[in-house]
Amino acid sequence: MKRFVYINDDETAHDLYCDNRISNRKYTILNFLPKNLWEQFRRLMNQYFLLIACLQLWPLITPVNPASTWGPLIFIFSVSAFKEAWDDYNRYLSDKQANEKDVWVIRDGIRKRIQAQDIHVGNIVWLRENDEVPCDLLLLGTSDPQGICFVETAALDGETDLKTRVLPMACVGLASELLCKIKGVIECPVPDKDIRRFDANLRLFPPFIDNDVCPLTINNTLLQSCYLRNTEWACGVAVYTGNETKLGMSRGIPEPKLTAVDAMIDKLIGAIFLFQIVVVTVLGFAGNIWKDTEGQQQWYVMYPDEEPWYELLVIPLRFELLCSIMIPISIKVSLDLVKSVYAKFIDWDEDMYDHDAQCHSHAANTAISEDLGQVEYILTDKTGTLTENKMIFRKCCISGTFYGSDSGDALRDGVLLNDVINRTPDVLRFLTVMSICNSVVPSKSSIGEITYKAQSQDEDALVTAAAHLNVIFLNRTGNILDVIFNNVIVQYELLDTLEFTSDRKRMSVVVRDSQSGKIFLLTKGADESILPVAGPAQQIRIFSDAVEHYAQSGLRTLCLAWRELNEDEYREWSLMFKEANSTLVDREWKLAEVCQRLEQDLEILGVTAIEDHLQEGVPETIEVLRKAGINFWMLTGDKQSTAIQIALSCNFIAPEPKGQLLLITGRTEDEVLRSLERVLLTMRIASSEPKEVAFVIDGWALEIALRHYKEIFTELADLSKTAICCRVTPSQKAQLVELLKSRDFRTLAIGDGGNDVRMIQQADIGVGISGREGLQAARAADYSIGKFRFLKRLILVHGRYSYNRTAFLSQYSFYKSLLICFIQILFSFISGVSGTSLFNSVSLMAYNIFYTSVPVLLTSVLDKDLKERTVMQHPQILFYCQAGRLLNPSTFAGWFGRSLFHAAVVFLIIIHAYADEKSEMEELSIVALSGCIWLQAFVVAMETNSFTGLQHLAIWGNLAAFYLINCIISLIPSSGMYKIMFRLCRMPSYWITMFLIVAIGMGPVIALKYFRFTYRSNAINILQQAEHSSRHPIFMDLEESSQKDGVISPSSPASQPKSSRSSPFQEPLLSDSPTNSNASRKSRGQAAIDFFQSSQSRLSYARNFKNN
């Protein structure tokens, strides 16, 4: 598919293509209400509550006023709708500002000022320095005589270095006054979101040029949201406008990620729904039996003589409405609210502030904070992620001579300096390739100092090193490259550039020496792409040895080569290159084929070695996270030896004899299969030993393994705590993430460059580093941080706290709903199993929205079971989060049992206390509600680990607010509660009842907690006791206590769990998880009967537990 853009032709474009109006809005005023309601009711749980609310409109079956359900439902929907409306309104304001910005265009041969939204495809747009590009433009002219301009693309790809954009060859030399009259046609592809490619052709109509085809690339474009810098003016023709620009096509709402906690909550809701159906069926059946037997004998119950056909459904439906509150209607809204607060804690964390980049950490995804505490695998890039991406030229090998080996710095090697002074031919050719085989743009300051603007840190290091050796890249003027050597300017004409791609792994330029007229091909690239295309007569062994030697020192290597071309050979190849460069279909593949024809029989000049230091704190961070039971995989495009050395230096793998590296190699399917089977056999044997074993695989072998032997490689991945994958492509990185996710592991991917984006988006959690390669990774990620070392705090502190708080809040939400529901069910046994509600509608609404929600929301978001310093010193306790020890069917069963126990306590006490009194129904209802509020205040207080003034205010202030609100309601004669609260508060029996409810309800729970905390302490309990008894930093050996609690610490040599008990932290204290040797990896230490886990997960648990 392609489109034709006619330059300076307004009429044609108006009908074919959209204007430049930007619209990121999701709604309009007319469709907001129906569309938002449709989106909300697409959720199954909302459909359920809507059905319940509609059933309550049937007076015959509703036990309470419909407002008790409609009120909370409308409130929650209104909150969600308001949030959506507010976000959409902000998008509208942003769009309005961009659409109404003034721009200059050419209309009817004259320059006019219009709004940006009125630009059409084919219009010529005129930009001045520092203007923002309003749409995607093809560059037609600039103020620079050589036809170049500079743009800042930070808003597009995050890269802060200025980029050079050049005029198409057909437009070079056109006078500025002719640009207003220019006519032509652009043949380009339909709009897409690839900001790296623009494969198009340009034909200018006579008299400008004789209708020749001019190929276009992305370097000839100015993309929307970029800024024109260091250029007086530039103009271009609009090729893509509005939402069809590359930036507009890239916009969109990413697919939501489902966390492990959310998945468990959905399963618990399903289980409660099934339980609710059973309860409704049983009670409905019992109610109909009572009505037909006992009910008919009661004089005060008047049943009609003839009952309608649906009479048998009335009582079951009444109980369905009564039991509908088993599923808390507010749980999703509550969790979304607190997760937003957790994300803000990450944004506000000053300990994760990067002073070098002057940026805070940022949580772009507010919905997955608790998943950070359950990470099991971290897949990391190397360059710029583990290293600083500050490239320094250290050593080189030229024609078999090693420079810099003694001093460690080739730039200070006297032998090399002498060879430069003596004009040694091989050395000069080597330095020339370093200097001009790149896309670097030199710029000279006002004081004459030359600086380089490079898109690659490697290129910057090479050009800077060549300049230190007196081969200075002075200027790039159009296609003329000026190089100074010993104060003599040497000019080269740049004929063609063979761009670097991840498949070719090399870059070449074709240049003509202006003095001699000779044509040279200059090439640089990875050893695996350069050495195989060397001339047959050249000995490459010494260069391959040099590459291996430098790689073992952890240095990044590049091979440099050259070849002289004869005129006829170049002319013939140039025609093929131009033809491939003009095609719109498969241009990249055809160009690679043509480039391969020229890049043959090269003369290898030498090898460069560049140093990239590790970031500060990387070894310590990896060591700490390993103690937390997290496994690491390194995915890099670097050479195998370099990656291994970096891995050794950052504690990624242990050196011999503690560690062992197993290599997976091969160029054929049989070789890879034999290597895989050998490594897999060794892994199986080593799994029972304390020795650390890791495997190393390159991109070639990985491609074969994933395509033909995926099952074997998957088993190997299950057994491997550490892996190093070298020479891998971005797509292979994403494949490896998907492989680990398919095995039900929680994955975190971290990187810093555009080649890491696919991996980051594929992982359960994506973390981007705001590095020297720009902000592409950071913008695509769920979280962005400034340095790798911040990952430790992100996981151990924020991830762990978020998981603990979310686990408590979600289970408490179920508890408080089940509590009120069980009281209703118990009341039905003394009300003829009729489905009559004990509580009135106002009380139920206030209970759900205010009395039980506010205290837990405020306390849970601030609660910390351990101090941050303690958590960082003892990373092993992250195991409780990874194993799902705080939220699983076992812990939920405890909360379920607690709610049933508390409901029985409240109901039996108030029934016996008021059995002999002539109490109104509303009075009994308020007493029961008071007992629930008192119990929940003490439950929240008991489950809170760290108190602040705000938390005390939330808990006890809410209790006082309950009495204040009910006293106010009791002043209203028509409320049905007239003076009831005042009468109760004056009665000693009421306060005695509250005391008995709290004492009997909380006594066993507190006693059990004390017993567990004192006599069956786990690692967290011990650390808490140490914190309370000491003001100094705590350093303890938790291995013994971990094994006592049934937890095998990740650092423990034990391979099998001895016992398994639930942590008392934020867990119900009426449940004790029994041992289950076959429990799933996701629920270590959970109940023996785990109906939420698959057999495959249980097997993976046994394997992973043993390895740890």
Residues serving a catalytic function are: 381
Residue 535 has φ and ψ, to the nearest 5°, of -60, 150
| Furthest-apart CA atoms within the chain: distance in Å | 122
Dihedral of alpha carbons 65, 71, 77, 81, sign: positive
3-state secondary structure 806-862: HHHHHHHHHHHHHHHHHHHHHHHCCCCCCCCCCCCHHHHHHHHHHHCCHHHHHHHCC
Residues 859, 951 contacting (CB under 8 angstroms): yes
Give the strand pairing for 124-128 and 102-107.
antiparallel
The interaxial angle of helices 889-913 and 260-292, nearest 10 deg, is: 40
d(CA 327, CA 319): 14
Residue 634 has φ and ψ, to the nearest 5°, of -105, 125
d(CA 155, CA 597): 38
The residues, ordered by sequence, that sit 6+ positions from 839 with a Cβ below 8 Å of its Cβ are: 64, 820, 824, 847, 925, 928, 929
3-class state of residue 721 by DSSP: coil
Contacts 24+ apart (CB under 8 A), 753-760: 753/381, 753/383, 753/384, 753/777, 754/157, 755/381, 755/502, 755/637, 755/730, 756/381, 756/385, 756/730, 757/730, 758/730, 758/731, 758/733, 758/734, 759/379, 759/381, 759/635, 759/730, 759/733, 759/734
The whole-angstrom distance between residue 333's C-alpha and the CA centroid of its chain comes to: 22
d(CA 149, CA 755): 26
Nearest 5°: the CA angle 1078, 1008, 942 is 105
Q: Environment class of residue 22 by beta-carbon count within 10 Å: exposed (0-12), middle (13-18) or buried (19+)?
A: buried
Distance between first and last Cα of the chain: 54
3-class state of residue 476 by DSSP: strand
- In sequence order, the β-bridge partners of residue 473 are 483
Residues 648, 392 contacting (CB under 8 angstroms): no
Cis peptide before 657 (omega within 30 of 0): yes
Residue 983 has φ and ψ, to the nearest 5°, of -65, -40
d(CA 1019, CA 1037): 9
Cis peptide before 207 (omega within 30 of 0): yes
Distances, alpha carbon 46 to alpha carbons 177, 258, 798, 1099, in Å: 64, 18, 30, 36
d(CA 1067, CA 1071): 8
Residues 460, 391 contacting (CB under 8 angstroms): yes
What single DSSP character describes residue 798?
A: I
d(CA 813, CA 25): 34
d(CA 733, CA 636): 9
Residues 352, 360 contacting (CB under 8 angstroms): yes
Which of 763, 795, 798, 766 shows the shortest CA–CA distance to 783? Answer: 766
Residue 215 has φ and ψ, to the nearest 5°, of -70, 145
d(CA 134, CA 132): 6
Query: Where do the DSSP E strands lie in 143-232?
Result: 148-152, 163-166, 184-189, 200-204, 213-216, 221-222, 227-229
